[in-house]
């Protein structure tokens, strides 16, 4: 449960990081996953706020800033969600938001990019690399990304013999252009 909360927060932030200010986010999904007792466990984070000005032709001037409300964490288990929001994990009373701010972007190939972001959770900021795709079709763009973090780097939960430290965050956004 301690590892699920950091993953959820990270997912929410990543989702928020890919929403565009000039272009409305029409659909977003942020999910997280980690192993608990050897079983994949995860959830979702909803409701994002973001300032996204991503232009594949001008990566040097592109900017993504986002925040997620940790109170939206949903693992389909109310007791677990309450525990994740407690001081044991995300401590939403003191740290209600997870934020991401882009540092740089690189084009990999085709529609694939890598962004370096400063991710802040519980007042701890660490750089994370987020590989993602950006595909524009007609009047929309779809952004999909996935990355891993170590929940202990952000003080989310404590050491555990049954819960993984690594959390995988997946983000998918649809943006009106």
Greatest alpha-carbon pair distance for the chain in Å reads 49
Q: How many whole angstroms separate alpha carbon 175 and alpha carbon 173?
A: 6
| Phi, psi of 72, rounded to the nearest 5 degrees | -90, 0
Q: How many whole angstroms separate alpha carbon 20 and alpha carbon 54?
A: 8
pTM reported for the whole predicted model: 0.82
pLDDT at 174: 81
In the chain, where the domains are located: 4-176
Give me the average pLDDT of each 10-residue run along the chain (177 residues). 52 44 70 92 84 88 87 95 94 93 97 97 96 91 94 94 94 82
pLDDT at 68: 85
Left, alpha or beta for 138 (phi > 0: left; psi -120 to 50: alpha)?
left
pLDDT at 110: 96
In sequence order, the β-bridge partners of residue 175 are 25, 141
Cβ pair 149, 10 in contact under 8 A? yes
pLDDT at 2: 54
Domain 4-176 has CATH 3.90.1150.10: no
pLDDT at 3: 55
Token pair belonging to 35: 């192993």
Q: Single out the residue of 96, 87, 80 nearest to residue 36, CA to CA.
A: 80
């Amino acid at each position: 449960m301690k590892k699920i909360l950091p993953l959820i927060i990270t997912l929410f932030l990543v989702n928020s990081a890919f929403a565009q200010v000039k272009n409305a986010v029409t659909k977003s999904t942020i999910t997280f996953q980690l192993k608990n007792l050897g079983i994949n466990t995860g959830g979702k984070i909803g409701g994002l706020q973001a300032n996204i000005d991503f232009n594949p032709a001008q990566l040097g001037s592109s900017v993504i800033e986002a925040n997620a409300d940790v109170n939206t964490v949903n693992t389909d288990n109310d007791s677990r969600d309450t525990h994740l929001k407690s001081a044991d994990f995300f401590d939403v009373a003191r740290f209600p938001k997870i934020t991401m701010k882009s540092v740089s972007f690189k084009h990999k190939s085709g529609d694939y990019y890598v962004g370096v972001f400063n991710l802040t959770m519980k007042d701890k900021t660490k750089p994370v690399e987020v590989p993602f795709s950006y595909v524009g079709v007609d009047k929309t763009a779809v952004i999909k990304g996935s990355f891993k973090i170590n929940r202990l780097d952000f003080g989310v939960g404590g050491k555990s013999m049954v819960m993984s430290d690594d959390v995988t965050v997946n983000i998918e956004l649809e943006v009106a252009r």
